A and B are shown apart, each in its own frame.
Chain A
Amino acid sequence: MHLSVTLRSEIVKRVRAFFDARAYLEVHTPRMVALPGQEPYLSPFWTKLHDIHGGAFDRALITSPEYAMKKLLASGLEKIYDLGPCFRDGEPTDGSHAPEFLLLEWYRKRADLFSLMDETEDMLRFVGRGLRDAELAPPFRRMTVAEAMKVYAHIDLGEILEDREALAALVIEHGGTVQTEDTWDDLFFKIFLTEVEPNLGWNHNKTIWQPTFLWNYPLSQASLAAKNPEDSRYALRTELYIGDLELGNGFQELTDAEEQRGRFLEEIRLRESLGKQTWAMDEELLQALTQLGKVSGLAFGVDRLVMLLAETDKITHLTNGL
């Protein structure tokens, strides 16, 4: 099954060719940093750096190159991409996660979320040519989280967006369980993961792919995305689904340092409540954000794309070819 090893090499070449042709600069940001991101549900690998005087310093492997790339954007670069290994500890062994995986991340100044989606579609058609042309050719579906909840779960998201009790009642109605510790997001996912997500990347009878951008997320799931200026309860975030896989996560980036600082504090607080290790905020990053202007970026799972094209359900096939 060395097919998937050689296929991965070809896909990576095509990805580079796509961005190079569009005048993106490939950057190679550090894999090992002092201050990794503090997303509450990601666990970086930690190690120690030693100097010649016997001093030891904590270092972490990156879970994504985001922070370093944003600092590069702040220093004046316009269009950049980074394609390299990233590392995440504690992920489920469900076939689509590996502790080390190839992540593509790109950023473009003066681009909004929709141009980012357009570019992602173009990239997929270019990279997948000759492999799954028929399914990648039609325009990708674009659905807001609210639309998806309506279509697949028959729920009006706007009505329960700020109402945990109403959402809890719906979870029970939909056959789920509710525990007092469940947050609004936990309850949302109990319905979303059961009834919505398995259907997003497929046509209505699940026989062929229907690549779909899910976008306009509730603010609690905004992460580093800017608020939607037309409805500040939602954020300009998108995820791409093809078949059963989530391939990418993109934002029109939040560039308000104070709001970002607030979100980082929230993350740290949540990490603490989950009994997880926390560390200092990256102040350099916060500084850099103020100089970015409108910018959009997307993190894309290259290994998962190869899995789809190689028709395998095991990400490990790509690295050991077995």
Chain B
Amino acid sequence: MASPNEIKKGIVLKDEAGLWLVTEFQHVNPGKGSAFVRSRIKNLQTGKTLERTYKVAETIEIVNVDHRRMQFIYKDQTGYTFMDNDTYEQVALPEDQVGEEARFMKEGMEVMVSLYDGKPIAVELPRKMTFKVVEAPEVVAGNTASGGNLTKEVVLEGGISIRAPMFIKEGEQIVINTETGEYVERAK
């Protein structure tokens, strides 16, 4: 059993609802109140995120998680398969256990795989990744379809659709925030 004082980003908590990955945390002392830890946690089985405040004095269960750098090799009906380049060991993570950011994974790229009890439970991509724009509609002045919007829908390599600024053209490389799925900037 552990104390909420040990909560850090990336650790995994266990309760009746399963395993929760801590994505953000902050210590808070309300004026004239007990000490608390406010956290944002993500359920590893369902992907649901929650904001939860623990009292520092309560007990929680922190589970031991391994983090290993692995290479994403391919995706098929069993899910996403990763390989450890040192041991050549392969592990697979079912599709429904990978979050929204899964769509940004490119074959051959390196990611961080979290393993609990030898089984993969989560994968973490680099927060920013660069993609080529393969389709971007031309914006014509006075085009009523754009109706005053500042962004338009573009398609990236891998068939990913996101919104990007009007000035982005086909063939350009752009940087995406894999956590939010949003355009960040043109690649330098």
Contact = CB atoms under 8 A, between A and B. Distances in A.
Contact of B52 (A175, A181, A249): A175
A92 interface: yes
Residues of B contacting A: mostly? strand
A150 to B, nearest CB: 19
A41 interface: yes
A195 B58 contact: no
A249 B31 contact: yes
Interface in B51-96: 51-55, 57-60
Interface in A212-257: 221, 223, 239, 246, 249
A181 B51 contact: no
Contacts of A197: 28, 30
Interface in B15-44: 15, 26-36, 38
Contacts, number: 72
A39 B28 contact: no
B54 A177 contact: yes
Contacts of A91: 29
Contacts of B33: 41, 185, 189, 221
A295 to B, nearest CB: 19
How many interface residues does chain A have, given as a range? 20 to 34
User: When A and B form their complex, which 9 residue pairs have the shortest distance between CB atoms, in order from nearest?
Assistant: A92-B27, A175-B50, A193-B53, A194-B53, A190-B53, A94-B27, A179-B58, A194-B51, A249-B31
Interface residues of B, number: 23
A182 B29 CA distance: 16
Interface of B: 15, 26-36, 38, 50-55, 57-60
29 contacts: A39-B32, A41-B32, A41-B33, A91-B29, A92-B27, A92-B29, A92-B35, A93-B27, A94-B27, A175-B50, A175-B51, A175-B52, A176-B52, A176-B53, A177-B52, A179-B55, A179-B59, A189-B30, A189-B34, A189-B36, A190-B55, A191-B53, A192-B30, A193-B53, A194-B53, A198-B38, A221-B33, A223-B32, A239-B31
A97 interface: yes
Contact of B38 (A39, A181, A185, A194): A194
Contacts of B28: 92, 94, 193, 197
A97 to B, nearest CB: 7
A246 B31 CA distance: 8
